[in-house]
Structure 1
């Protein structure tokens, strides 16, 4: 299987934060869409982005590298909630998922994929959808199955806390609940997940009563920090005696001080 995250026409609505990275590389919750798709599918996710981004975010060889002769699964890079993806992966080949008319994802034979990847390379998801409707089985998601999609930059902020909760099955599959053996680390609630190589120096408080707290391997929480869930702290990040309030996602290799609330730090950044 070849798993591909793509951008659609709505990238223009998110251009303020997506000029230097594709939509599927924007962080919300504990993952980017590409990372989330790869974690669910258990395989690498390739990226199909605007021309000036492909050299950095696409595979070596570009579009040609995506023609592997294997079935192709495409995932819309604006779709934050991928609860539908396991179901798509189990569908027969040439199945198309739509949501409010948007091309959400599809599982395709190599032949049919070759007919639509050129459209998706140019962010022409509407044309790709029309081509697929002619040849593929169509499943329209609605009601409770309708996934959350980002249409504007503020949608990422609004959904960050809920997305951390939705990502919890992925976290709990690879991280153990924190066993507070250090009396200087005060745990409130029962939703604290910490990587085995993370470093927590008390005194500090981890309050997960309002949502989960996830601290990845290599993160360092310095003394006198307060962290409130839902919060995600990426690998290699330093929390410098800070107050991290709920609905906050902090990517890898950041240095965070002061007070942060309802914010997304993409990664490799300081505050």
Structure 2
């Protein structure tokens, strides 16, 4: 029995608000989430997931994995740091590891290791220290694999690395593909269309700078222009949009306007004009018409981002916005460069947003923000989900209530 075990550590806080309602390894980085990359590329017989305890009920509900239970794990374990990007090359390197060996990046962070289950007692902590794995005294091999430290690294990697192309290579090899319909204007060869996708005449797709994958049940209407590398998820509708390089649209999104180097995690809407770039948008987010984010400062300076209670210098010129799950933005909202919007926020008005809006906030910059009442936030979440024929489960409702408590200090500052 060989178990694949993916865990998160203390640096999960660097990825808030997108990790309030999911483990860090369930963030999408390319066509696949970090966990999916590991699952699909590393041979294993069983899957185990370790996460913060308050997430465990929802993770058990969504997966068939062993969750936070060392007693169910025995024998050989492939241990994967949930912040690691398991590319095809890294997966090959992992396959060469012997028991007692680890892949470590240039910063000394664990990427993956092969160990005996009895060595994993340090995982009993909710969020172990970054270097807690070192107590296993493993033989280390150096790798150039990426271990994410901050959320803003994801859109940068989408645009500047081959993470999307690497995922598309894996997915397209296993997909039922069809040809482009008549009337679609295409440039380049690496355009992959899954059976069941509908692309209307007049759509323009360019794979000159990277591949494009269009999933089943998706719909693309003119005058949409898609530039690769880009990924369009299952059931997503792209309506007259400009999809720039580095864009990943998860399942069941509604997208219009212009999107560049951005992840829409899934089940979110930006159906109208407006620009979102170098950003990460969570699930069940609605972005109103003409709402736009800035991803470049007027003075071409580097961007600072709010991370776990303080402003952090990114050292990057192009950083957009980060919007937590279940947040709603009305028409014409202006998102400042590097804006962080918490979960379950309701923002309206044409004013420029603050750099940070705490979770469960209601209001705008001019009038100020009040607390978004918890029961009303949950009711809105359930309504939006029902429109996509998805039920808000009891475990998910309890998770929202728990995170409301955990984020109370944000709203008191």
Normalised TM-score (structure 2): 0.59
Aligned to 2:109: 102
Question: Within 5 A, what are the aligned runs for 1:116-135?
Answer: 116-119=122-125, 121-127=126-132, 129-133=133-137
SS of 2:49's partner is: strand
Distance 1:221 1:46 in 2: 37
Distance 1:2 1:81 in 2: 16
Native 8 Å contact 2:31 2:231 kept in 1: yes
Which consecutive residues of structure 2, in runs of 5 or more, have no partner in the other structure? 271-413
| Higher RCO structure, 1 or 2 (CA under 8 Å, sep 6+) | 1
Native 8 Å contact 2:209 2:228 kept in 1: yes
Shift in Å, 1:171: 2.5
Shift in Å, 1:60: 6.7
When residues 137 and 80 of structure 1 are mapped into structure 2, their CA distance, relative to the original with a 3 A threshold, is same
Shift in Å, 1:187: 1.3
Aligned to 1:190: 189
Question: Within 5 A, what are the aligned runs for 1:1-271?
Answer: 1-41=2-42, 45-58=47-60, 62-64=67-69, 67-82=72-87, 83-99=89-105, 100-113=107-120, 115-119=121-125, 121-127=126-132, 129-133=133-137, 136-141=138-143, 146-161=144-159, 162=161, 163-175=163-175, 179-180=179-180, 182-271=181-270
When residues 228 and 6 of structure 1 are mapped into structure 2, their CA distance, relative to the original with a 3 A threshold, is same
SS of 2:78's partner is: strand
The aligned length equals: 261
Distance 1:16 1:95 in 2: 34
Greater mean deviation of Cα atoms: 77-86 or 169-178: 169-178
Distance 1:72 1:95 in 2: 11
Shift in Å, 1:56: 1.4
Native 8 Å contact 2:66 2:72 kept in 1: no
Distance 2:31 2:253 in 1: 14
Distance 2:142 2:177 in 1: 37
Shift in Å, 1:176: 6.3
Shift in Å, 1:31: 0.8
When residues 66 and 5 of structure 1 are mapped into structure 2, their CA distance, relative to the original with a 3 A threshold, is farther
**4+ residue runs over 6 A deviation:** none
Native 8 Å contact 1:94 1:112 kept in 2: no
Structure number with bigger Rg = 2
1:173-226 per-residue CA deviation (whole Å, 9 max, x = no partner) reads 22366533x321111101111211212122211111011101112211123221
Give the structure with the higher percent helix. Answer: 1
Normalised TM-score (structure 1): 0.87
When residues 212 and 66 of structure 1 are mapped into structure 2, their CA distance, relative to the original with a 3 A threshold, is farther
SS of 1:84's partner is: helix
